Amino acid sequence: MIRLSLPVTSVEIAKLKVGDQVLLNGAMITGRDAAHHYMVENFIKHEPPESERPMYETLKKVLAGNVIYHCGPVIAQENGKYRFVAAGPTTSIREEPYEHLVIEKFNVKGVIGKGGMGAKTLEACQKFKAVYFHAIGGAATYIAQSVKEVLGVYKLDLGVPEAMWLIRVEDFPVVVTMDSHGGSLHAEVEAKSKQKFEELLKTI
């Protein structure tokens, strides 16, 4: 088991290989469909408008060398503080049109989700030294136990699941399934499944 403290360096990321089990510690941020669309439309396709520049500068600091988690959490609010009740991963492939752009623009070093991602993200992982971490699907309440504190929230106007939650985690469990060397467990499984399917077709 490998323990990583966030943020991480390119050197640390380069040491990770497909199959490595990792425990993440430190601050990271959630973000899924609406958040990715917001970042691409406001900060990547165009120069940040003046009204969004403070948010741009904040996200640059938060995301640099850090991890973005594809998660739509269930949140409770107690005594004026937010608490994660459930924090399971959402399907990552929905972010495939955006993720490579976000990785490059914000120097993101890791993406967490489930189901893997495609060729554009894998290429960005190689080019900019990043990895894809697979989190445990169907274990939202268990994963939430790793979230020790909500440090802040951005774009809450997008709704609770789509907002960008800055959280502090301890021993957050993930597995590397796409690395910075071009390895992709998801591509391997897809290729083997296709081969097996074609073999089965020949027997019909």
pTM: 0.90
- Domain boundaries defined on the chain: 2-202
In the chain, what is the greatest distance between 2 CA atoms, to the nearest angstrom?
64
Residue positions annotated with a catalytic role: 36
Spell out the residues 6+ positions from residue 125 whose beta carbon is closer than 8 angstroms to its own. 103, 131, 132, 178, 179, 180
**pLDDT tens, position by position, 18-65:** 999 999 999 999 999 999 999 999 999 988 999 999 999 999 999 999
Q: Specify the pLDDT at position 79.
A: 86
**pLDDT tens, position by position, 113-138:** 999 999 999 999 999 999 999 998 88
In words, the CATH class of domain 2-202 is alpha beta
